[in-house]
Amino acid sequence: MADQQPTLAPIAKQKQSITLIYAAFIAGLCSIIYELLIATTVSYFMGDSVKFFSLTIGLYMAAMGSGSYVSKYITDKLLQRFVIAEILLGVIGGVSIPLLYFTYTTTALFYPTYVVLTLSIGFLIGLEIPFLTRLMEDYQSLKSNIANILSFDYLGALIATLAFPFFLLPVMGIYQSSLLFGLINMSIAAVVLISFKSSLGKTGRRLQWLTVAMSVVVLFMLLFSSQALKQWDQMLYNGRIVHSEQTPYQKITLTKSKDDLRLYLNGVLQFSSVDEYRYHESLVMVPMTYADKSINRVLVLGAGDGLAVRELLKYPEIQQIVLVDLDSRMTELASSNGHLVGINLASLSHQKVQVVIDDAFVFLEKNQHRFDLIINDLPDPNSIALSRLYSKQYYQLAKQNLTSDGLMVTQATSPFFVKPAFWSIAKTIKAAGFTYTYPYHTNVPSFGDWGFVLSALQPIDLTPRRSLEASLFLNEESMSSMFVFAKDLQEIAVEVNQIDKPVVLDYYLNSWRYFSD
């Protein structure tokens, strides 16, 4: 039964009832936020968002069920135990993301920490609703009690799901959001202790001091979170960080070490200025050299850093370059950041270049004008969202946007490190209707052996038709050798990547996991 309360004046009783409804609202708000924060963090670090969101939800729900089940054996001092649960939840939930960041970079305990945090938070959340429902018995009838508690709990959950993608992630980031909501969670303990002060006596005073102490700890971590994040970032990257920001889509980080400028998206290296020309010449100059027609209009999907566009601008025959990138902050940085402008030669500001902020898949669906060359310079398929941009359906859309005698080239990851993913991409492009596919690869020291797929609707005569004078890396002999694969890199049996069956994601993650273990 709920704790016995002294007879209260109607106003005091109403105040306590409102306090418990507030607790239900904040509990619903924080519970979803913690779940989203943990799942997103693990997905950022380990990839495979579907796997880790599914696993997080499963662990979370199982732990909540355990908490709810255990609550029936707690029969006395419900108010005090509820306050203690909220203090613990505020502290554990608040420091969960800083703890995951720390274990990822400094220990081998990332997975155990992730599981323990998820189960602990889920268990404590499982205690909340049963406790609140029983505490409300003295204030409302059973049907009103359950209706009000669940309604405000679900309302809090709704607000959390809206706030997370549109405010918390782009404005505060994951690290600071967890600390902020740890404090918000502990506000439940604070308002309950104030509202029920007369019922708790000395125990209430001790819990007040505990709440204040734990709130100060979490607040201290929040106030110094920027410095902590800088230290964490520096532990993760080799060079000095010259720019770092969280956008609605990704974490963008630029590092500088002597003459080496590096771009990382969500901690994954995108280029090193020491050897990026090898990658971008292979991506752009290969199709341009072998094209037997005039290339007037070019579509570049991804490549918001402007480096692929820089290579395209070496060809006067090109009349228009349309660059499509999802993240406006990436293209803005490529146009304004001195480090990036210095190596992309202000390519995105050129009069021939049109920058479109859109999802590549969506752009291909609605575009009405065909292109002579399509360049897919997209991040590797390390998430479900990215794997769809390597699907049969995506390449079918690309085909509809290509002139009948046009060319398409796709960066296709490493044929050595992620061999099944590379050959799956090549097979998928052919299955999408590109009858003629020409896989090729080259060595980029920062990445190792890296692969591409040149494709067309008509045969391509691999005879050079344009000069390579502007190249720093390629010549006719090296280009010819790029289409030759050694025995250990040759094509293997793989499946076609589909939107509803993203096999390339499994191929990619399983292969990298083998080399990283």
> What residue ranges define each of the domains in the chain, with the CATH number in brackets?
10-231 (1.20.1250.20), 238-269 (no CATH), 271-516 (3.40.50.150)
| Residue 444, C-beta contacts closer than 8 angstroms, at least 6 positions apart | 275, 276, 278, 279, 282, 450
pLDDT at residue 10, as a whole number: 64
Neighbour count for residue 8 (Cβ, 10 Å): 15
Rounded (to 5) percent helix, strand, coil in the chain: 60, 15, 25
Element (H, E) at 395: helix 392-400
The one-character DSSP state at 501 is B
pLDDT at residue 1, as a whole number: 43
- Please tell me the distance from the alpha carbon of residue 309 to that of residue 345, in angstroms, as a whole number: 10
Options 48, 372, 377, 380, the catalytic residue: 377
Alpha helices in 47-141 (DSSP H): 49-71, 78-106, 110-135
- Please report where in the chains the tokens 């209009």 appear, as a residue: 297
**Which strands make up the sheet holding 402-411, listed edge to edge?**
353-357, 320-325, 297-302, 371-377, 402-411, 448-456, 436-444
pLDDT at residue 2, as a whole number: 45
| Residue 5, C-beta contacts closer than 8 angstroms, at least 6 positions apart | 16, 138, 196, 199
Residues of the chain with pLDDT under 70: 1-10, 12, 140-143, 515-517
pLDDT at residue 195, as a whole number: 86
Whole-structure pTM value: 0.75
pLDDT at residue 213, as a whole number: 93
517 is catalytic: no
